[in-house]
Each structure stands twice: as structure tokens, then as C-alpha cells.
Amino acid sequence: MAILTPKRGKLLSSLALTYLFVRFFLTLQLDALSSFAAYVFEVACVLAALLLFGRQTLSYLSTPKESVLASAFALFIGFGIFKLAGIVGIVIPFTMTDSSTILMLLMVAPVLEEALFRFLIWQSALHVGFRPRITLVLTSAIFSYAHFHAVWFVSPDVIPFVYFQTGYTFFLGLACGLFVLRYASLAGAMLVHFGFNLGFFLASQV
């Protein structure tokens, strides 16, 4: 765990709570601003967290060799999850050939979501006194709920996919979190997330 001054630690905790409140309770208001407002807000939260940590952030960018193998394994899991959805009759509500979807899936999501859940919220949880293993489960549950949260806003035909996604993202969160827990490597978590999403994308192409 990085060492923050009490003042910076309080700011980090306040930032995490602000993110969660806006993310889960002001969803419609944020989306009403523009289609990109939510992403701008999330990027702002990440940048603020990085500023609070300063140079200490660099220590989380190390990439253990285990992350390469883990990301390759995550690729196969992501591939299988996509195919499993088809087997059980769950429709994937994304156009997997759309350039914006590909950008979100392979670049934005692995970086931004990991920075939010395995850095901002993770470090905030540790700072307020949660044990590392509890933090692992807690951040995975919040990550999973972040995907479930869409259930309140989507059409009924998309709801089965939301339930399906809620389940697999919890375990994806655990897998990514293990790299932060064991190696203090945010970069490793991002690689695992990227591997999973890449497998998901590749499965849609065959």
C-alpha cells in the first residue's frame, strides 16, 4: 500500500465515495449531459487519484512476468464466455464490428476500469482500514455491480445478458485484483482485463 498523508488519504476516500455516488445514483443526470459525460467524469476521477499519489503511482506500473501468462489464459476464458453466451441463448447486445465498441472493449475498458476499481477504490478501501483480501472481494463485488447497474435502464431483452455479465465480471475482478494483491501491479491487472476482452472480441469474429 502506498503511503499517503492523512489529508491526501481523506481526499482519496472522498474522491472514491464521490465517484461511487455519481456512478450509481446520478446515472441518468450524467448521461443527460452528453454521451461522453460519464467517461469524462471517470477520467477526471482517475487523474485526481494519480495526482494524489504522485510519483508513488509509478510503483504500480511494474509488469510481473506472470501477467503475460495470466493474460493469455484470460484470453481463452473470455473466448469461452462469449461462446457460452451463445450456447445458453444469451444475446450479446453489442455490435462487435463497430469501431467505437472495439475501442471501448480493447483500450478504454481495461485501462479506465482497472484504474477506477483496482486503484482508486482499492487504495481508498485500504486507506480506511479494510484488509487486503477483503478489499479484493469488495472491489470485485463493486465492479460486478457496476455492470449489473445497467439492469435498471435497459430494455427487457437485454436483461439476461446483464445478469450473465454480472456473474463473469465478479470473477474477472477477482483475477485482476489478484495481481494488485500479490504484486501491487495495476499494469498486470490491466493486461489480464485486456486479455479477457480480447478473447471476448475474437470469439465474436469466428
Confidence check: pLDDT of 84 > 70: yes
Residue type, 165: Q
Does pLDDT of 59 surpass 90?
Answer: no
Is 52 within a domain?
no
**Residue range 77-104: average pLDDT?**
94
Per-residue model confidence (pLDDT) at position 5: 86
Among positive and negative, which fits the CA dihedral 45, 67, 184, 77?
positive
10 within a domain of the structure (yes/no): no
Domain extent for 187: 58-204
pLDDT digits (tens, 9 = 90+) for 40-57: 999 999 999 999 999 888
Report yes or no on 8 lying in a domain.
no
For residue 14, being part of any structural domain is answered with no
The dihedral through the CA atoms of 117, 124, 179, 46 has a sign that is positive
pLDDT by residue (tens digit) across 130-159? Answer: 999 999 999 999 999 999 999 999 999 999
Q: What is the pLDDT of residue 92?
A: 94
85 in a structural domain: yes
With bands split at pLDDT 50, 70 and 90, how would you rate the model's confidence at 58? confident
Q: What is the pLDDT of residues 32-41, one digit of tens each?
A: 999 889 999 9
Query: Could you give the CA distance from residue 79 to residue 90 in angstroms, rounded to a whole number?
Result: 15
Which stretches of 26-151 are DSSP H helices?
27-33, 37-53, 66-87, 99-103, 114-115, 121-127, 132-148
Per-residue CA distances from 109 to 105, 138, 196 (Å) = 6, 19, 11
Q: Judge whether residue 29 has pLDDT over 60.
A: yes
pTM: 0.95
pLDDT tens-place string over residues 97-131: 899 999 999 999 999 999 999 999 999 999 999 99
Calculate the dihedral angle through the C-alpha atoms of 179, 183, 185, 189, rounding to the nearest 10 degrees.
Answer: -10
* pLDDT number for residue 145: 98
- For the chain, what percent of residues have pLDDT higher than 90? 89
**Residue 4 confidence (pLDDT):** 84
**116 lies in a domain?**
yes
**Mean per-residue pLDDT for 64-68?**
92
User: Using one digit for the tens of pLDDT, what is the confidence trace for 17-26?
Assistant: 999 999 999 9
CA 134, 22, 119, 127 torsion-angle sign: negative
Opening angle at CA 107, ends 197 and 34, nearest 5:
110
Report the mean per-residue pLDDT for the chain.
95
Interior/surface letters 118-132, b for 16+ CB within 10 angstroms, e for the rest: bbbbbbbbbbeebee
Predicted pLDDT of residue 1 = 54
- Residue 98 domain-assigned (yes or no): yes
Q: What angle do CA 126, 49, 145 make, to 5 degrees?
A: 65
Total of domains in the chain: 1
The reply to whether 28 falls in a domain is: no
